[in-house]
Chains A and B, each alone.
Chain A
Amino acid sequence: MSNVLVLVDHTDNPGGTVRKTTAELLTIARRLGEPVAVFIGSDVQAALPALGQYGATKVIALSNPELSQYLVAPKAEALQQVAAKVEPSAILISSNAEGKEIAARLAVKLDSGLITDAVDVQAGDGGPVTTQSVFAGNFTVQAKVTHGTPIITVKPNAATPEVAETSPEVEEFDVTISDAAKTARITDSKPREATGRPELTEAAIIVSGGRGTGGDFGPVEAFADSLGAAVGASRAAVDSGWYPHAYQVGQTGKTVSPQLYVAAGISGAIQHRAGMQTSKTIVAINKDPEAPIFELVDFGVVGDLHKVLPTATEEVTKRKS
């Protein structure tokens, strides 16, 4: 069987906590061939159990510290060198900002086609067939790579992780990094504070607040916590400084596709819809019955979020206890 490379997406601190997206990539890789995980970082041992649980047949470990110091160019060089050795039939990378940039460089280096933001990948006659949700979710397209090694970036939740225990061998891999790849560097980095809530892009439920919160995200956060949900925000709320940019949902924020999306005090502008309209179930609370968000909803409440959310939070908490 052919090798399928999976770039492991993991936290840097602490060492090697493998993100759920990696389990999804490994699950997809098994449909296409033998999953070979590429781990860039210092603590491959910490990642090993998770990688084995989801079926990695081998783990290639790259621990050169220069790989993390200089943005993504060295990581792309490293992957190119791994690909030259392993000769994979496809390369799967998580669809986040860093992943897409690595994939972009790799596509040029390997003279290969690149598909980004796949929401599904299946084996086809001539290689992997991807599904993308495009134009703000208004179209679904099926695509494939026709030249080179298919490089595919995959969105969170594109597959349900399936366990397939293996005990992968670890192979240390020495990379050489060119001076050219070291020309832009990170001079300062402040980790984002943990909120204790699920990751926005991975969460099954998201409660988002917009300009209608008037700047008080308390009721949004409380309702989210009662449901075990992640918190999102509209750009209006982010631009007003009410919530950090990392939580923005939309065209220039995160695209999310949870089981349930609750929009509170959000009007439903096209750029916001672009990030959430593929959610399975959509609920909105808005005091304006004409708000465009109501065109999308499965359930809508015309009302003041400052009244509806706290009462709903109380009720949910009561039912759950």
Chain B
Amino acid sequence: MKIVVCAKFVPDATADRRFRSEDNTVDRAGVDGLLSELDEYAVETALTVKEAGDAEVTVLTVGPEQAADAVKKGLQMGADAGVHVLDDAIHGSDAVATSLILAKALAKLEADLVVFGMGSTDGGMGVVPAMVSERLGLPAVTLGSEVTVDGQTVRIRRDGDTASETIEGTLPLVLSVSDQANEPRYPSFKGIMAAKKKPVETWSLADLELTPDEVGGSSAWTEVVEVTARPPRSAGTIVTDEDGSGAAELVGFLSTNKFL
């Protein structure tokens, strides 16, 4: 079985995240980045499925030069191969365009099982898995918090807003997993060394039979017209609960602000 994990390289949420003033797109070049944490759960799912049977795991990323680090992290965790779709024309792609590139690459890879994270930690739309499934004409089973693959059958459990559900589909299939699905492993020293020898291919748009005007800012169907940084919060009042006065002060605050 061929499993492909889609993994996104994103700006580090604990460092500086910002937008480029010239085109209101995310600054990806001048900031620290990493494999979106939520995609580690996808890599872990793929590795678990592989370990239970017979499969090959490829990590696929679409992104700028540094996005190669996302592939590398996947290989260090234990994936077998990597594909990095890299092309200057991709800058500024929206979700619709990103899903087109991913779908083309996945078709070329002939994936039986495609595993996504539940959402990137930058755009955080959580829509790319469904878009890719739509483009490939494959079923999607999304937001799995428990995943089992049994022969051709994929079964997940998920806790929705109104119900806890079990969902079933048959391979080939698109899967997305939540951060409840597992505990992603840390790369071992052996894994880090082994990753250096694993094959990574870099594909351009031409390799996917796409043209620059089908992707990137030029065919993004959405446009950010304005970006405003949030004004800093003014410091609040902090009291220390000595001899039980904290509760009274809290209730006083709630009352003054008409929450009672």
Q: Which residues of A contact B (CB under 8 A)?
A: 11-12, 71-73, 76, 96-98, 100-101, 103-105, 107-109, 111-117, 129, 134-148, 180, 183-192, 205, 227, 235, 244-246, 251-252, 259-260, 270-271, 274, 281-283, 285, 289, 294-304, 307-309, 311-312, 315-316, 319-320
Assess whether A184 is in contact with B141, with CB atoms less than 8 Å apart. Answer: yes
Lowest 8 A-B CB distances belong to which pairs?
Answer: A303-B241, A113-B221, A311-B247, A104-B127, A184-B169, A104-B130, A183-B139, A188-B166
9 contacts between A and B (CB under 8 A): A113-B220, A135-B13, A139-B228, A183-B170, A186-B165, A246-B161, A283-B253, A296-B233, A308-B241
Q: B207 an interface residue at 8 Å Cβ cutoff?
A: no
Partner of A312, one of B118, B240, B247: B247
Chain B residues with CB under 8 A of A303: 240-241, 246
Once A180-B137, A184-B141 are accepted as A-B contacts, the answer to whether A146 and B257 lie under 8 Å apart by CB is no
Chain A residues with CB under 8 A of B229: 138-139
In the complex, per-residue mask of B119-136: 1 if CB is within 8 Å of any chain A CB, else 0: 101101111111101110
Q: B17 an interface residue at 8 Å Cβ cutoff?
A: yes
Would you give the shortest CB distance from B163 to chain A, in whole angstroms? 5
**Which of the 9-residue segments B52-60, B173-181, B197-205 touches chain A?**
B173-181
Chain B residues with CB under 8 A of A245: 145, 159, 180
Q: Find residues 208-257 in chain B having any chain A CB closer than 8 Å to their own CB.
A: 219-230, 233, 236-241, 244, 246-251, 253-255, 257
- CA of A73 to CA of B142, assembled, Å: 12
Partner of A308, one of B124, B228, B246: B246
- CA of A288 to CA of B14, assembled, Å: 21
Assess whether B241 is in contact with A299, with CB atoms less than 8 Å apart. Answer: no
A104, A117, A309, A320: residue with the most chain B Cβ atoms closer than 10 Å:
A104
Would you give the shortest CB distance from B148 to chain A, in whole angstroms? 12
- CA of A129 to CA of B254, assembled, Å: 35
Assess whether B179 is in contact with A252, with CB atoms less than 8 Å apart. Answer: yes
Would you give the shortest CB distance from A97 to chain B, in whole angstroms? 6
Partner of A304, one of B121, B124, B135, B241: B241
Assess whether B99 is in contact with A184, with CB atoms less than 8 Å apart. Answer: no
Assess whether A189 is in contact with B240, with CB atoms less than 8 Å apart. Answer: no
Would you give the shortest CB distance from B127 to chain A, in whole angstroms? 4
Chain A residues with CB under 8 A of B254: 227, 260, 283, 316
- CA of A283 to CA of B141, assembled, Å: 38
Partner of B162, one of A137, A192, A251, A281: A192
Assess whether B166 is in contact with A186, with CB atoms less than 8 Å apart. Answer: yes
Once A114-B96, A298-B237 are accepted as A-B contacts, the answer to whether A12 and B135 lie under 8 Å apart by CB is no
Q: Which residues of B contact A (CB under 8 A)?
A: 13-14, 17, 19, 24, 38, 94-96, 99, 118-119, 121-122, 124-131, 133-135, 137-143, 145, 155, 159-170, 173, 178-180, 219-230, 233, 236-241, 244, 246-251, 253-255, 257, 259-260
Chain B residues with CB under 8 A of A112: 96, 221
Partner of A104, one of B131, B143, B164, B230: B131
Partner of A100, one of B127, B255, B257: B127
Chain A residues with CB under 8 A of B159: 244-246
Assess whether B222 is in contact with A192, with CB atoms less than 8 Å apart. Answer: no
Assess whether A289 is in contact with B161, with CB atoms less than 8 Å apart. Answer: no
- CA of A145 to CA of B170, assembled, Å: 35
Residue of A nearest to B19 (CB): A139
- CA of A246 to CA of B145, assembled, Å: 12
Assess whether A115 is in contact with B222, with CB atoms less than 8 Å apart. Answer: yes
Assess whether A184 is in contact with B233, with CB atoms less than 8 Å apart. Answer: no
| CB-based A-B contact count at 8 angstroms | 254
Chain A residues with CB under 8 A of B233: 295-296
Chain A residues with CB under 8 A of B130: 72, 100-101, 104-105
Partner of A270, one of B14, B164, B247, B259: B14
- CA of A144 to CA of B24, assembled, Å: 13
Assess whether B228 is in contact with A299, with CB atoms less than 8 Å apart. Answer: no
- CA of A180 to CA of B255, assembled, Å: 57
Once A147-B221, A315-B251 are accepted as A-B contacts, the answer to whether A185 and B17 lie under 8 Å apart by CB is no
Residue of B nearest to A227 (CB): B259
Assess whether A143 is in contact with B250, with CB atoms less than 8 Å apart. Answer: no
Would you give the shortest CB distance from B19 to chain A, in whole angstroms? 7
B121, B130, B244: residue with the most chain A Cβ atoms closer than 10 Å:
B130
Would you give the shortest CB distance from B229 to chain A, in whole angstroms? 6
Once A270-B14, A301-B239 are accepted as A-B contacts, the answer to whether A141 and B24 lie under 8 Å apart by CB is yes
Would you give the shortest CB distance from B226 to chain A, in whole angstroms? 4
Would you give the shortest CB distance from B66 to chain A, in whole angstroms? 19
Chain A residues with CB under 8 A of B167: 71, 184-187
Would you give the shortest CB distance from B241 to chain A, in whole angstroms? 3
- CA of A301 to CA of B252, assembled, Å: 12
Would you give the shortest CB distance from A10 to chain B, in whole angstroms? 11
Chain A residues with CB under 8 A of B248: 311, 315
Chain A residues with CB under 8 A of B14: 270
Chain B residues with CB under 8 A of A235: 179
